[in-house]
Amino acid sequence: MSKEEKKVNRRDFLFTASYTLGAVGLGAVIWPMIDQMNPDKAQKALATTEVDISNIEPGNSVTVLWRGKPVFLKRRTPEEIAEARAVKLDDLPDPQKDEDRVKEGKDEWLVMLGVCTHLGCVPLKDKGDFNGWFCPCHGSHYDVSGRIRKGPAPTNMEIPKFEFVDSNTIKIG
Amino acid sequence: MSEHQYVPKSKAGKWFNDRLPLLTLGAHLTDYPTPKNLNYWWTFGGILTFCLITQIVTGIVLAMHYVAHADLAFASVEHIMRDVNYGWLIRYIHSNGASMFFLAVYIHIFRSLFYGSYKSPREVIWIIGLMIYLLMMAAAFMGYVLPWGQMSFWGATVITNLFSAIPLVGDSITTWLWGAYSVDNPTLNRFFSLHYLIPFLILGLVVLHIWALHVPGNNNPVGIDIKKPSKDTVPFHPYITIKDAFALLVFMIIFAGFVFFTPNVLGHSDNYIPANPLVTPAHIVPEWYLLPFYAILRSVPDKLGGVILMFSAIFILFVLPWLDTSKVRSAVFRPIYRQFFWILVIDVLMLGYVGAMPAEGIYLVLARVGTIYYFLHFIVVMPVVGYLEKTDPIPMSISEPVLTGGAEPSLARKVNDKV
Amino acid sequence: MIKSKFKFVFFTFLLFVIIKPVQSAEMVDPIKVNWSFKGLTGTFDRAALQRGFQVYKEVCASCHSMQYLSYRNLGEPGGPEFSQEEVKAIAASFEISDGPDSQGEMFTRPGRPSDKFKSPYPNIQAATAANGGAYPPDMSVLVKARKGGANYIYSVLVGYEDPPQGVNLDDGVYYNKYMIGNKIKMPNNLIDGLVEYSDGTESTVDQMAKDVTTFLAWAAEPELEERHKIGVKVIIYLLLLTILVYLSMKKIWSRIDTEV
């Protein structure tokens, strides 16, 4: 009887082991098929974008392409900066100080991804209820610091990694 | 088919099954009574299914990165090899997968030839199988064109020019195939489209192939009709599934050996040179799996004649069930035919070999001898030997001679030795 | 019985393959080099790759492009593995044309790691015209594009000889023992001491030929090391699973009288 049982146990072990090992292999095969759709090495290495900002007057802005997305560079006037900083944090759906969205000492330069955080449309400048941007797709209003004030978008517009190479050049990425 | 009616155990299962009997189908496939004496040559059906699925999956993935344009195709393949995550692995599986697919299909075909699986009542299975084989060749040929290397370009030129041998309309057909006045960007584009289409046609035919198989059931090494289900059969699952899985794993080890350690050995180095319409490579050879037909093509010193003979070499297989006059299926019991079968195997291998060699001197002679034998085998040997041959005694059932020895112990031993 | 027949056929075929076709006398088999990247676990020699890149950059690159490689590849694992700073410096040493800028003008700038290798000529026609009608082939996949692979490339690099008697060469054509047809339009560019290796290796012709061939072998198959590494694992895995499935099969079939 015990001999029989042993036999059964060994067989069960064999089958379980085969199935388990087979499943592990299947998983290992599936991964490359999924990973191939991630950004490839050339995409990951994509260059940074350098922008000449010497020609931008206060109050004006330019849009440049970085990683296939628009980036807004706005040179803000002192009034606009003051307006952005006068807002109470409690009034913001996604509270963030204007100071935290710009580089210290370069307060006039707002550099942000021009992509609505709702569903990815490009907001229009100088539109909307808060003197900033307005997304025409689903009606999100952003203020002059690019913070969401009204509408369906959940968060402020994103600030990319950027730095001032010199006083006239900004490097994004 | 198994006659007992399958009834799902769960209520939901029954509800669904009454509306779409998928569970009945599943039960049929699991219980499907299979001869218990199938040897490893019978595992290649499962292996071929694996090959087809592998090619479709890797192919869909490659199409996400490949660009079907004459100026960009070569670069996009290099992009896949260098930049795409695991791109090199996926491409090498796909390119070597084609070779493994053909290796398996040739074994599958020759197994059928040896054991008489093409004979009544399995003619339709055989014919659908040949249609699959034809589509495989078309898919493989067009796939080889896609990297747009030198062999791609000149292979495409040579093969499409075969159609120019057709009297009167040949040139128009060739131009129509090209969509230009030579193999060019339009050709590449349509080949890509068709290369993507054909595997799904094959998939459809595979379903029919298996359906047609499940009507009479499997042939077996003894080649006799068996009662199903009986003591001569085993349920498909787990007996055949586990055996197929084992054979498939052995096959995969060989496959992996190619993919990881000699991924380019089955290809031609010239295909890593970008296509150049001004320079023909010194030596144009098709992929190895098309070489026997290439040898037949070149053995005829006439353009139209060569093309006709090459296509005949394939189409003659379609009438094979009616050329074979023998009442006995399995060559195990056909002492004379068996010899000829092996001669045919050697003949086809030899044709493949001379197909890779320059068409001159001894190679041309061998190609001609090989071509003549190839056709003689089917047109003369098969009908005549089938008619004249005195076959060995055939056992009554699979189990009988093996188990009990039956009335004729000597026969039992004989069958045991051979199967 | 079937098995023995099968073996017979198999060995007959093997015989076919072994008997090499009689080739014309001018063909010489390339020198067999014991490359470190050969074999199931072969890897590239990093130092040789870095030296080989130097030879490419200083000698070959004036005529041969490598358009499918990017400077970033030089720092990737499995390759020469220059440090990120070195890669940046190498890239920056090339003037890459870019543009158009906001004024619509093309401009040049120092290279970045993401840039492709700079080609010496703008297109194939220019390269052909500048080299006496012979296009210096792109070397990105050259090792895969030549029968004989790395051995062949190396052999050609060291295979320059004076032509045997009775062979007349046109201007700009050189005699090479290993080149197919023996005539090559590339002059012998390697002379002892041509490049100065920073690691102190003596730059003999043989050394430079080996180094640059190693570099080209990597350029053609940058995935080689990863491929070997994954391959060994896959084969071990498959062997294990095959054994398990074999034992399972034996168990299952032991329920009935027939053997598998």
From C66's Cα to the closest Cα of chain B, the distance in A is 12
Report the length, in residues, of chain B.
Answer: 419
Q: What is the pLDDT of residue A114?
A: 94
φ, ψ for residue C86, nearest 5 deg: -60, -40
**B25/B38 same-domain check:** no
Distance CA C248, CA C228 (A): 30
Distance CA B111, CA B38 (A): 11
pLDDT digits (tens, 9 = 90+) for A10-42: 668 899 999 999 999 999 999 999 999 999 998
**B321/B217 same-domain check:** no
- Is C223 in the B-facing interface, judged by CB distances under 8 Å? yes
Query: Would you say residue B399 lies in a domain?
Result: no
Name the pTM for this structure.
0.91
Q: What is the pLDDT of residue C66?
A: 97
**B240/B224 same-domain check:** yes
Q: What ipTM was reported for this prediction?
A: 0.91
Query: What secondary structure letter does DSSP report for B235?
Result: E
**B251/B355 same-domain check:** no
When CB atoms are compared, the residue of B75, B239, B253 closest to C239 is B253
Q: How would residue A1 be classed by pLDDT, with cut points 50, 70 and 90?
A: very low
**Farthest-apart Cα atoms in chain A, separation:** 93
**B275/B373 same-domain check:** no
- Residue-by-residue pLDDT tens, chain C, 260 positions: 455 666 667 766 666 655 544 444 456 899 999 999 999 999 999 999 999 999 999 999 999 999 999 999 999 999 999 999 999 999 999 999 988 877 899 999 899 899 999 999 999 999 999 998 899 999 999 999 999 999 999 999 999 999 988 888 888 899 999 988 888 999 999 999 999 999 999 999 999 999 999 999 999 999 999 999 999 999 999 999 999 999 999 999 998 877 77
Distance CA B111, CA B332 (A): 12
Distance CA B78, CA A103 (A): 42
From C59's Cα to the closest Cα of chain B, the distance in A is 22
pLDDT (mean) for B348-374: 95
Where does residue A12 rank: exposed (0-12), middle (13-18), buried (19+ CB within 10 A)? exposed
In sequence order, which ranges of B163-223 are alpha helices (DSSP H)? 170-178, 185-214
- Is C129 in the B-facing interface, judged by CB distances under 8 Å? no
Per-residue burial over B184-207, b if 16 or more Cβ lie within 10 Å, else e, is: bbebbeebbeebbebbeebeebbe
- 3-class secondary structure, B149: strand
Q: The dihedral of CA B1, B7, B8, B14: what is its sign?
A: positive
Q: Which long-range contacts (CB under 8 A, 24 or more apart) does B301-307 make?
A: B303/B165, B304/B165, B304/B166, B304/B167, B306/B165, B307/B162, B307/B165
pLDDT (mean) for A132-155: 94
Query: Would you say residue B326 lies in a domain?
Result: yes
Place of tokens 């390119």: B95
**B280/B303 same-domain check:** no
Distance CA B338, CA C121 (A): 64
Distance CA A165, CA B220 (A): 78
Annotated domain spans of chain C: 30-69+116-221, 223-260
Distance CA A45, CA B65 (A): 17
Where does residue C175 rank: exposed (0-12), middle (13-18), buried (19+ CB within 10 A)? middle
**B303/B373 same-domain check:** yes
A15, A21, A34, A36: which to substitute to probe chain B, counting the most B Cβ within 10 Å? A36
pLDDT digits (tens, 9 = 90+) for B170-228: 999 999 999 999 999 999 999 999 999 999 999 999 999 999 999 999 999 999 998 88
**B127/B262 same-domain check:** yes
Q: Name every chain C residue with its beta carbon within 8 A of the beta carbon of B276.
A: none
Domain C30-69+116-221, CATH class in plain words: mainly alpha
DSSP A16-66: HHHHHHHHHHHHHHHHHHHHTTS--HHHHTPPPEEEE-TTPPTT-EEEEEE
Cβ neighbours around C130 below 10 Å, total? 13
Torsion of CA A93, A98, A103, A108, to 10 degrees: 130
Q: What is the pLDDT of residue B410?
A: 45
Distance CA C248, CA C239 (A): 14
Give percent of chain B with pLDDT exceeding 90. 88
The counts of H helices and E strands in chain B are 18, 2
Query: Would you say residue B394 lies in a domain?
Result: no
For B147, the token pair is 């990297």
The residue from B252, B268, B284 where one domain ends is B284
Instruction: CATH number of the domain at B98, please.
Output: 1.20.810.10
Distance CA B103, CA B95 (A): 13
Distance CA B418, CA C18 (A): 31
When CB atoms are compared, the residue of B64, B83, B89 closest to A37 is B64
Chains adjacent to A (≥3 CB pairs closer than 8 angstroms): B, C
Query: What secondary structure letter does DSSP report for B357?
Result: S
Averaged pLDDT of chain B? 93
Show the domain range for B143: 32-284
Query: What secondary structure letter does DSSP report for C133?
Result: T
Give Cα separations from B236 to B215, B239, C248 (angstroms). 15, 6, 15
- The amino acid occupying position A111 is V
Distance CA B268, CA B43 (A): 30
Contact C188, C45 (CB under 8 A): no
**B164/B192 same-domain check:** yes
Q: How would residue B229 be classed by pLDDT, with cut points 50, 70 and 90?
A: confident
**B162/B231 same-domain check:** yes
Distance CA A166, CA B326 (A): 91
pLDDT digits (tens, 9 = 90+) for A98-123: 999 999 888 899 999 999 999 999 99
Q: How would residue A8 be classed by pLDDT, with cut points 50, 70 and 90?
A: low
- The amino acid occupying position B292 is P
What are the beta bridge partners of residue A49? A172
Strand segments, DSSP code E, in C26-137 are 95-98, 107-110
Strand segments, DSSP code E, in A67-137 are 69-75, 109-113, 124-125, 131-135
User: What total of structural domains would you count in chain B?
Assistant: 3
- 3-class secondary structure, C116: strand
Give Cα separations from A97 to A81, A153, A156 (angstroms). 11, 18, 11
Distance CA B96, CA B204 (A): 23
Q: Do B89 and A32 touch (CB under 8 A)?
A: yes
What are the beta bridge partners of residue B33? B235
Which positions of A are catalytic?
A: 138
From C202's Cα to the closest Cα of chain B, the distance in A is 32
For A105, the token pair is 């000492």
- Which residues 392-411 of B are in CB contact (within 8 Å) with C? 399, 402-403
Query: Would you say residue B408 lies in a domain?
Result: no
Distance CA B309, CA C121 (A): 49
**B213/B332 same-domain check:** no
Distance CA B337, CA B18 (A): 50
**B302/B278 same-domain check:** no
From C189's Cα to the closest Cα of chain B, the distance in A is 23
Where does residue B416 rank: exposed (0-12), middle (13-18), buried (19+ CB within 10 A)? exposed
Report the length, in residues, of chain A.
Answer: 173
Q: With CA atoms as reference, report the closest residue to B277 among B159, B152, B170, B399.
A: B152
Over 70: is that where the pLDDT of B418 sits?
A: no
- Is B111 in the C-facing interface, judged by CB distances under 8 Å? no
Distance CA B319, CA B303 (A): 25
Report the length, in residues, of chain C.
Answer: 260
DSSP B15-42: HHHHHSTHHHHHHHHHH-EEETT--GGG
Q: What is the pLDDT of residue A47?
A: 66
- The amino acid occupying position A32 is P
Chains adjacent to C (≥3 CB pairs closer than 8 angstroms): A, B
The counts of H helices and E strands in chain A are 3, 10
Q: Which helix (H) or strand (E) holds A162?
A: strand A162-166
Distance CA B347, CA B42 (A): 23
- Which residues 11-70 of A are in CB contact (within 8 Å) with B? 32-33, 35-38, 40-43
